[in-house]
Structure 1
Amino acid sequence: MAPTFQAIGLAVADMATSLAFYRRLGLDFPPGAEKEPHVETTVAGGIRLMWDTHAALKSFEPDYRPGEPSGGWAFLCADPAEVDRVHAELVAAGATSVKAPWDAPWGQRYAQVADPDGNVVDLFASSQ
């Protein structure tokens, strides 16, 4: 039997700041999660998204050092207007816009913001 893909993790500098950002994208976390060194939430399809603070990772990997952000997650929006609205709300809340909303040649309304740790988060919806 082959291993089953089940989880994706992010290393974060500040749990409270990161969870506040992802709550704005509709992810649900238990009350008080911002005080924990490890937090998880389950999304559609049963995939677990996991957050670990740099300190938590260093606790079991003494040589751990945060690397440059690479990769990120993509969030499907209901329609092009929601892409624009969510991008504007995130930027107004302090997120950095990586790319303002645009009509991508592949038929989607697309935008990108950086999460608090610099990971790029895509927002998209079909523009058709």
Structure 2
Amino acid sequence: MTPPTPRSTPRFDLIGLVVSDMAASLAFYRLLGLEFAEGAESAPHVEAALPGGLRFALDTEDTIRSFHPGWQPPAGGGRVALAFLCGSPADVDTLYEAVLAAGHTAELKPFDAPWGMRYAVVHDPDGNAVDLFAHLNP
């Protein structure tokens, strides 16, 4: 038996993260340029619009458990990897230092990668890898 075919093609719409501390996560992603509603620190779910119509969402662990009571965060952290394009190689270094100055951790210091990018990796408050990069020769 052939499975039914959807009436329309699904469209990629949202990137979502489950966070342990909404206020800390909002501060981190605002530092990287994402815009969230003022006062969202106590919200159970927040979204930011991304270029191209995508959305970036943060949900608290309690929000997920409200409809999935047995949910547990993955062991070992590192739930997802995200990448932010910076305007220049110098901007990678500046943003990297700003992230560290704000108390966050890093995995890789900025370096000129062999694939033609200035590249660094920092961690959000839940341990997700966040790549910062810029093209060396735009």
Q: Structure 1 runs of 4+ off > 4 angstroms? A: none
Is 1:48 aligned to residue 55 of structure 2? Answer: yes
Residue 123 of structure 1, aligned match among 120, 129, 132: 132
d(CA) in 2 for partners of 1:33 and 1:61?
23
d(CA) in 1 for partners of 2:119 and 2:78?
20
In the TM superposition, what is the alpha-carbon distance from 1:112 to its structure 2 partner? 0.5
Give 5+ residue unaligned stretches, structure 1: none
Partner of 2:94: 85
d(CA) in 1 for partners of 2:87 and 2:78?
27
d(CA) in 2 for partners of 1:123 and 1:8?
17
Q: How many residues align?
A: 128
**CA deviation profile, 1:39-95 (whole Å, cap 9, x unmatched):** 001110010101000001000000111113232210000000000000011011111
Is 1:111 aligned to residue 120 of structure 2? Answer: yes
Q: Percent same amino acid among aligned pairs?
A: 52
Give 5+ residue unaligned stretches, structure 2: 1-7
Q: 2:44 corresponds to which letter in structure 1? A: P
**TM-score under structure 1 length normalisation:** 0.98
Partner of 1:38: 45
Deviates more, 1:61-70 or 1:80-89: 61-70
Residue 26 of structure 2, aligned match among 19, 25, 45: 19
